[in-house]
């Protein structure tokens, strides 16, 4: 298990779409952030990602059932992981999905969970059949399986999807089109 920040409104740094925005006084580049909790096993099974957003009920999800989303929805005013959110994810997402996966495979509930020892992670996580190992500080980027390409691949896929959406919008025959206006939606 590992977490990562995703600035979902920020354009890739290698494009020149918002170059003029950086020169404006009093203007900040988009920093709308979510935190993603990614977890999987060596066989390629990925647990439903946890998503931490700053709002409990964002306007875009008004009258939507968050349980039907492809992510496990949590909220924090700064969109950061906290000990309480770690416990919530562990009990309501991790345990549930791992139990279903192991039952499907006909395997006993015996799990090893690798986590880094970040300040936002609860150290008192316990559940029968789950052994938790905390990785040593400053070694996470070297030996954490999620840091070995899974998170990077996910972020690359998100960027690609965003860019494909922009290109598709540009290919439409709309005369009053602004990439900047589309990106700010």
For the chain, the average pLDDT equals: 78
pLDDT tens digits for range 29-43: 556 778 888 888 878
Q: What is the pLDDT of residue 110?
A: 94
pLDDT tens digits for range 119-135: 777 888 899 999 998 88
Mean pLDDT confidence for 113-121: 80
Q: Say if residue 142 is exposed, middle or buried (CB neighbours under 10 Å; 0-12, 13-18, 19+).
A: exposed
CA 154/CA 168 separation, integer angstroms: 21
Q: Say if residue 83 is exposed, middle or buried (CB neighbours under 10 Å; 0-12, 13-18, 19+).
A: middle
pTM of the predicted protein model: 0.71
Higher pLDDT, 16 or 154: 154
Higher pLDDT, 182 or 56: 56
- The 3-class SS string of 61-124 reads HCCCCHHHCCCEEEECCCCCCCHHHHHHHHHHHHHHHHHHHHHHHCCCCCEEEEEECCCCCCCC
Q: What is the pLDDT of residue 27?
A: 47
Mean pLDDT confidence for 139-159: 71
Higher pLDDT, 104 or 17: 104
Q: What is the pLDDT of residue 160?
A: 81
């Amino acid at each position: 298990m590992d977490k990562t920040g995703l600035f979902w409104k920020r354009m890739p740094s290698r494009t020149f779409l918002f170059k003029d925005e950086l020169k404006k006084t009093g203007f900040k580049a988009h920093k709308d952030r979510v935190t993603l909790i990614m977890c999987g096993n060596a066989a390629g099974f990925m647990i439903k990602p946890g998503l931490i957003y700053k709002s409990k009920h964002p306007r875009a999800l008004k009258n939507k059932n968050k349980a039907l989303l492809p992510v496990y929805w949590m909220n924090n005013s700064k969109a950061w992981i906290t000990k309480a959110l770690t416990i919530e994810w562990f009990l309501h997402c991790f345990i549930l999905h791992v139990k279903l996966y192991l039952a499907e495979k006909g395997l006993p509930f015996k799990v090893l969970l690798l986590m880094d020892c970040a300040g936002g992670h609860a150290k008192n996580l316990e559940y029968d059949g789950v052994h938790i190992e905390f990785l040593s500080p400053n070694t996470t980027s070297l030996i954490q399986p999620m840091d070995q390409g899974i998170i990077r691949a996910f972020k690359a896929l998100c960027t690609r999807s965003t860019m494909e959406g922009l290109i598709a919008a540009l290919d439409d025959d709309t005369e009053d089109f602004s990439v900047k206006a589309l990106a700010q939606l």
